Every structure is written in structure tokens, then in C-alpha cells.
Structure 1
Amino acid sequence: MAGQEGGSQDQVSSGTEHDAVPALSGSLYRQKREKELRKRLNHFLSDLAILGSLQGFRYFQPWLRGREELLLTVVNEDQGWFSPGFPVSAASSLTSPSSDSSSSDAGTPPPGEPPPQAPHQQSSRNGEAHLLPASPSEREIAVPEMNCTLFLLAGYAKYGRPYAWIRSNHERLVNIGGTDSLVRDTPMKLKSITDWCSQGTRVWDIVSELVGLCTVPPPVNPFSLDMCYLQTLSLQERFLVSGAIINFLEMLLVYTSRDQPFYDKVMEEVDILRRLHIRSLWEVQKHRGTTSPSNQ
């Protein structure tokens, strides 16, 4: 009997240890997964900072606001519009907006003109309605340019992944079914964000989807450049800005599938911009040579 009891205890002990192995493996897997997602979010925030420092795109204009937020102005209708390249305003540089004014009506077409049509998204209270941005829409003081819609892209550490919110022209893009702040601050249902865990979304994936959703007609290349704006920059600024955009677009090409419809168009833009960059460098060097003390 004693032998049987001892054998039974050994079996129970062995079974307990056997059950603990999968539990430990699951815990290690979760820790590894969480570490991987944190690393991925840090990469996203790095991309966000790089994009926020750039100007010169035709269909959108980014403004960095803090480490975790970026305001993105996207063109509504392509009417030969080019990015203004305005310096960052006080409104767009504030980390915690305090104004009570709402920008939900900003960018509304003049009376008598029908608003441009764009695909509508369904906004839902379920699941993601509680994922509010750190800067509520009703206190947004950044105002988009005419014929533009303002978006907020953010990678908050507390959510562990990026999200996008509409900050103006809500009715143009989303069937909100109400006007209360909770609905208006519900994050957008974007494929690029849905693919975050499985495919590792980068900031240009979200920008591309937002431009395709907002701009009418949807451009073939959402990253098309505003060469007119770049040509208006001073020589030194043109050299620096063109180099920064080249760096961003080359990074985009490295991590983007060649199957993307805009891939070849971006390559063409990079070639054009690279020639502008080299020419600007040559002119900068020539200018420095003619103004150096040895030539005076």
C-alpha cells in the first residue's frame, strides 16, 4: 500500500511539473511578444519623428506635436494644390491644447458648394470607443488649411500600438451617428492599423491609407512631392530639405513591397529629388567658393 501511495504521489508530482511547462512557455512567449511590440512601437515613434520634421509633399503636411503625436493635414480635393510649407504654428506645436474651440467645422466648403464625396467608415462604440486620444477633439486648436482634413496619428505607450483619429470634417469621412465627444474621438478603423500586430505597420502605411481615403480622386502616388515649394526654398534649405526627404523615401522603399501601386512612382520621385539635391550641393559649394576670403 505504501508503495502504491508513493507511486501515486510521484505521478501527481510528475503531472504537476508537466502542466507547469506549457504555462511557463506561454508566459515566456507573452513576455517575448510584449517586448517585440514595444520595440515595434519605438520604431513607429522614430518614424513619426522623422516624418514630422519634413515638408514638401503634395497631398499631405505633417506637424510633429510631442513624442507620441503627429498632426497630419490631408488634401480633400486634388485641384493642383501644393503644400504651403508654413512654419509650425503655435497651435500645432502645443503638446496639451487648452482651448475650448472646436475645429470640427474647419475646412468646410463654402455655402452652395457640395462637399467632396469620399468613402465612409463605420464608427462604433464597441471595443475601441474608450481609446481616447491624449488631446480630445473638442479642445483641438490646430486648424487645417482650406480644402484639407486634419488627422491625429499617435503611438501612445499606454495603448501599445498606433491609432489615428479624425480632427476635422468628421461627417465627410465617418458615419458617426452622433456628435458627442466619445463618438468623435473613436479611432478610425484602418487596415494598416489592424495589421499592426501581424505585419508591423509603419507610419507611411497609415499615411498612404489616409490619403487614399481622404483625397478625391485618390492619387496614384500619395507621396508625390511639391517641387514648386522645394524650388522656392533658399539654396541651403533646399539642400537640407531634399536630403531629408530622400532619406525618408529611401527608407520607405526598403521596407515597402514592390507590389504597392505607388512603389515605382516613389522611385521616380526619388530620382528627380536626388538630381535636385546634387544640383543644390553643387550650387552651395560654388557659392561658398565665390565668397571665401581667399577669393576676395
Structure 2
Amino acid sequence: MNSGSQKREREQRQKLQHFLTDLALLGSLQGFQYFQPWLRGREELLLTIVNEDSGWRSPGFAVSQASSLISSSSSSSTSSTYSLASDPGSPLPGDKQGPRQGTQGPQPGQQHTPRPQHHVQKGSSDAHLLPASPSEREITVPEVNCTLFLLAGYAKYGRPYAWIRSNHERLVNIGGTDSMVKDTPMKLKSITDWGSKEVRVWDIVNELVCLCTIPSPTNPFTLDMRYLKSLPLPERFLSSGALLNFLEKYVVYGNRDELHYNKVLEEVKTLRRLHVQTLSEVQRQQCRVDKPVSPAIPEPVKEE
């Protein structure tokens, strides 16, 4: 191996390490409106994404509690509403002719920009890139009106991949077994660009949210302020600080040409005000707790 190849290999390893650092940071956060991350191990993150934006509130727990029966019935109703079978983000496990076009378009009042078709090349090795956590052993089920994804950066693959874990019939209609679809990585533009561009974890999340949520949100990283304000004071302080750290990192390193970049800036300002206000409340509460209590002075005994 020549020095040029070794240098590229080192750069790719370092790039993957940065991705895993971002993955761990994202996995510790709660309070986004359109998605909910849950870190599972050093290399894996489960991402629950809202299917239809109807004023959905982000839940206050990390693991989904919806039953598979409810989730299944919900996915049936959403799949009949809109089909994304021609999306570039659809998983295409060895389908030579590409996905079939969906039969229905968006309902009145919904806006959705058509995306160009992407196809898996014949003989693509992507079909053999299995996740470390096979879908048949997946115990997490998504919330109602949500789709579950597995996002991972395995060292053995040297780059991130995303697998769909539920409601795949909403996005693809290509036949085959459920496990074949769920254990084949999705054909995402952000992941395709990994080798030639600076791709961060928020780029993949952005693409998945815009792929999955209908109508596509103007800001995939919109915060659920009602949820944050409902948290107990210490938890609100920690959560707002962690979210602020992530979004400020996005502001510094994110793509400023993205249409939602300025909206993220607005979220940062709002979140910063909440964080400072919460800090003041925490300090006032602490002062009340630490305030010394003057000892009671006994009354003098009157002599008879």
C-alpha cells in the first residue's frame, strides 16, 4: 500500500470517528419535533421519525412503548395516503429494474417536491452490508405515526449506513421478504457523498426526515418547546444545554446553503433564552435551599 492510500485510509478512519462522536451526542438528546434519537451502543443509533406532521409532540421517553399491533395498523393507513416508492432514499435490495412507482400522490393541501429516481447498480455490494443488529431480532417498535430507522457507523464498513426497521411499505414496494428489505442499507444521497464530501450526522438525519415526514418540514431540526418547558427544572436545564451544544455545532459546521439553516439559527436563539432563563431559576431555587436558617432565640425566663 503506497503512502497516498495509507493517508486516505487514515483520513477515512478519522472521519468515521468524528461521525461516531456526533452520533453519540445526537443519541443523548430529546426534544426534537420530527424525530427522536436513541443511542444503542457505540456504533448504532435508532431514529424514530414522524410520518405525518399533524402537531405531533415528541415523547418524553427514550424507548418506544407503542404496541406492534397499533404500529402496524397505523402504517397501513399512512401507506395508503402517500407512497414514496420512487424516492432516492428507498432501500433497493437487488432490484434490477428499480422500484415501482407509487399509485397515489399527495393528498390535497400537502406539498411534496418530486425527487429523481436512483437505482442500485447490478451486482452492488450494498445488498450484502448487513447491520450488526439484524431486523429479525429488533425488539423496538416505533410510536404510532412514526417510522423506525437504524443509523450506524460500523468500523468494518468504514462509513455510515441507514436501514429501515418499520413501515417499509410506506417507502418501497418491491416485493421480497421483510428481512431482505430491512437488512439492506438505504440508498441515501448523503451516504453516497460520504467519500467525496464532508458529510455529518445531521446531513443523514435531514435526508431521512425530508424523505419520511409529510409534508416535508421547513426545518427538520425544529424543537418541541412545549415538551422542553414541561420538564422538571434540573432536567430542563440539562436538556436545553445539550440541545444547544448540538445545534451550535451545526451552526458552525453545517451547510449554510441549506434552506433550513437560518431557521436553525432562530431555534438556537429561542433555545438559548430558555436555557439562560432556566439557569436563573435553578440558581434562585438553589439560593432558597442554601439560605441559612437563624436559630430560634429562647425567650428570657421571667423571675417571680
Cα contact 1:63–1:71 (8 A) shared by 2: yes
Q: Partners of 2:22 and 2:260 in 1: how far apart? A: 19
Cα contact 2:219–2:260 (8 A) shared by 1: yes
Q: Partners of 2:166 and 2:136 in 1: how far apart? A: 10
Correspondent of 1:225 among 202, 223, 226: 223
Q: Partners of 2:281 and 2:170 in 1: how far apart? A: 46
- The residue number in structure 1 matching 2:114 is none
Q: Partners of 1:103 and 1:187 in 2: how far apart? A: 23
Structure 2 segments unaligned to the other structure (5+ residues): 95-122, 295-304
Amino acid at match of 2:93: S
Amino acid at match of 1:249: L
**CA displacement at 1:111 relative to structure 2:** 7.0
**CA displacement at 1:129 relative to structure 2:** 0.4
Correspondent of 2:81 among 110, 116, 136: 116
1:262-286 deviations in whole A, cap 9, x for unaligned? 1010000010000000000001111
- The residue number in structure 1 matching 2:214 is 216
Q: Partners of 2:154 and 2:75 in 1: how far apart? A: 36
**What secondary structure is seen at the aligned counterpart in 2 of 1:71?**
strand
Amino acid at match of 1:179: T
Correspondent of 2:41 among 66, 80, 88: 66
- The residue number in structure 1 matching 2:32 is 57
Q: Partners of 2:78 and 2:253 in 1: how far apart? A: 41
- The residue number in structure 1 matching 2:158 is 160
Cα contact 1:132–1:185 (8 A) shared by 2: yes
**CA displacement at 1:295 relative to structure 2:** 5.2
**CA displacement at 1:183 relative to structure 2:** 3.5
Q: Partners of 1:283 and 1:137 in 2: how far apart? A: 45
- The residue number in structure 1 matching 2:180 is 182
Amino acid at match of 1:246: L
Q: Partners of 1:36 and 1:112 in 2: how far apart? A: 45
> Quick one: higher RCO (CA 8 Å, sep 6+), 1 or 2?
2
| Runs (4+) off by over 4 Å | 102-105, 110-114
RMSD (Å) for aligned C-alpha atoms: 2.2
1:1-296 matched pairs, under 5 angstroms: 27-88=2-63, 106-109=71-74, 115-120=80-85, 121=90, 123-125=92-94, 126-127=123-124, 128-179=126-177, 181-294=179-292
Q: Partners of 2:24 and 2:182 in 1: how far apart? A: 26
Sequence identity of aligned pairs in percent?
Answer: 65
**CA displacement at 1:200 relative to structure 2:** 2.3
Cα contact 1:122–1:176 (8 A) shared by 2: no
Q: TM-score, normalised by structure 1?
A: 0.82
- The residue number in structure 1 matching 2:111 is none
Larger radius of gyration: 1
**What secondary structure is seen at the aligned counterpart in 2 of 1:195?**
helix
Q: Partners of 1:112 and 1:230 in 2: how far apart? A: 30
Q: TM-score, normalised by structure 2?
A: 0.80
Q: Determine which structure has the larger helix proportion and give its number.
A: 1
- The residue number in structure 2 matching 1:21 is none
CA shift in 2, pair 1:109/1:122, >3 Å: same
**Equivalenced residues, count:** 260
